[in-house]
Amino acid sequence: MDDLPFQKITISGPTLSALMHRIATSLGDVDGLLFGHVTRLTPSTLTDDNTPQNPDSDLVATITSFFCPNIPLSFYDSLGRVDSVTLHRLVSSTTHQSNSSSSSSNFLGWFSARRKSPIRPSMREFCVSQSLSRLKTAAKGEKDLNPCVFLLFTTPVHGEMLYHTHEYRAYQFQVNSRCFEPKTIAIDNIGPDFRGNYGCFSPNSPFPELKCASAMNDEAGEDLNRMERVSKDQKELDMVAEGFCVGDLGKLMGSETVNSTMSLEDLYEKMLGKLDNLARQVEKSNAKVLEMENHNRKLRYKIARPVPE
């Protein structure tokens, strides 16, 4: 049987978060089973010539759920030999629960979580994957597909836990070559049923009819309004900066740098003087307002004071 290589392995963000939470709250090293489905995604390449398109499709394994008994060696022994009876019971119970919740899932593989160890498969994990590769799974469309997906979780060996708590990698166990092939793992934030629509999107709504004359008139009107706004802004800037145009900023580079810098510094000093004058005017007006409030307070006190009999 030929191996069917995956292009990538996908998992949703909530599923990955739940799996990492289960691993973090366990008392030690754990392992479990992975469930999901395998789909073929045909890439849609749009061309404007008569070049024939590549009909090849990509095989993507999507992990939708998992089962973690919170104990190590849950379905295999210390030598990595899988207990087919225990595995069949776990797979049957998990798939039955998934089918009852109206979500199709098949047995894709397994995962292993260790503490403070190198993030590479061990000899025992190799033996477990090899034992699983001899088991057939009745996945839709891929009846000869073996449960060959393997996720490895570890915690950092040294002090990197200040930055992240877990490291993980995805592998596909190749039956013929008897080796782990690293695969890209993609974290999806939308459902797998809706995600496939991005690859084969085609617009169905017709464009509305546009009158060329009215469209040209509208564009001309927009350009005129835009020019008027720019002219108005330039006039306001000239009023504030005493005729200093924005185009003069280009003179700050080149041979006229010294003269332009001096004129700009002079303009800056004049603006500071205007701000200082404005601040003094505001201070005087505040003093007058305070004096008026005190005067009004005295008048109200005189009016409210009772008249002696």
Report the range out of 96-105, 112-121, 211-220 with the highest average pLDDT. 112-121
Average pLDDT over residues 255-278: 75
Tell me the C-alpha to C-alpha distance, in Å, between residue 207 and each of 42, 44, 202, 204: 28, 23, 13, 9
Report the range out of 97-106, 116-125, 272-281 with the highest average pLDDT. 116-125
What is the pLDDT confidence band of residue 33, given thresholds at 50, 70 and 90?
A: very high
- What pLDDT does residue 210 have? 56
**Averaged pLDDT score across all residues of the chain:** 75
- What pLDDT does residue 133 have? 83
Would you kindly state where each structural domain of the chain is located, as residue ranges? 8-45+54-199, 232-304
Average pLDDT over residues 244-250: 59
- What pLDDT does residue 155 have? 85
Angle at 66 between CA 65 and CA 69, to 5 degrees: 155
Average pLDDT over residues 283-289: 90
Tens digit of pLDDT for each residue in 69-112? 888 888 898 888 888 888 888 888 776 665 554 456 788 899 99
Tens digit of pLDDT for each residue in 46-61? 554 455 555 556 788 8
What is the pLDDT confidence band of residue 202, given thresholds at 50, 70 and 90?
A: low
What is the pLDDT confidence band of residue 220, given thresholds at 50, 70 and 90?
A: low
Average pLDDT over residues 183-209: 62
CATH architecture label of 8-45+54-199: 3-Layer(aba) Sandwich (3.40)
Average pLDDT over residues 163-185: 86
Tell me the C-alpha to C-alpha distance, in Å, between residue 180 and each of 82, 84, 240, 273: 18, 22, 71, 75
